[in-house]
């Protein structure tokens, strides 16, 4: 997962509160099979973490945010710190190890 330089995102823009440590912000589209797999993976990883939250956003319904954040394909998952600043990005369906490695060492 790579970091990307984009402006901070607000809770109002995503329609959800941030995790107290990290938020995995997934951009999906309706007929995207890898999006469903990514949603299941991220939900499974975050279900036991009280400080990390998974938020899934329909890219087609949030085009302004898609443009602002330079989302070019789905699924794209942003790792946001507790302030909504992007600290990592995965384009495509990530592997479990990639997600765990990306969120484990962060002490933000």
3-state percent helix, strand, coil for the chain, nearest multiple of 5? 30, 25, 45
- Stretch (H or E) spanning 90: strand 86-91
- pTM (predicted TM-score): 0.89
pLDDT values of the chain reduced to their tens digit, one per residue, 108 residues: 555 555 689 999 999 999 999 999 999 999 999 999 999 999 999 998 999 999 999 999 999 999 999 999 999 999 999 999 999 999 999 999 999 998 886 444
Sheet holding 52-58, edge to edge: 52-58, 22-28, 76-81, 86-91
Domains of the chain in start order, with CATH, are: 11-103 (3.40.30.10)
């Amino acid at each position: 997962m790579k970091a990307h330089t984009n402006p901070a995102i607000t809770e109002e823009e995503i329609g959800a509160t941030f995790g107290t440590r990290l938020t995995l912000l997934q951009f999906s589209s309706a007929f995207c099979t890898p999006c469903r797999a990514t949603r299941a993976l991220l939900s499974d990883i975050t279900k036991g973490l009280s400080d990390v939250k998974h938020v899934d956003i329909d890219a087609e319904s949030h085009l302004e945010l898609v443009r602002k954040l330079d989302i070019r394909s789905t699924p794209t998952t942003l790792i946001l710190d507790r302030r909504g600043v992007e600290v990592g990005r995965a384009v495509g369906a990530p592997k479990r190890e990639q997600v765990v490695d990306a969120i484990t060492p962060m002490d933000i």
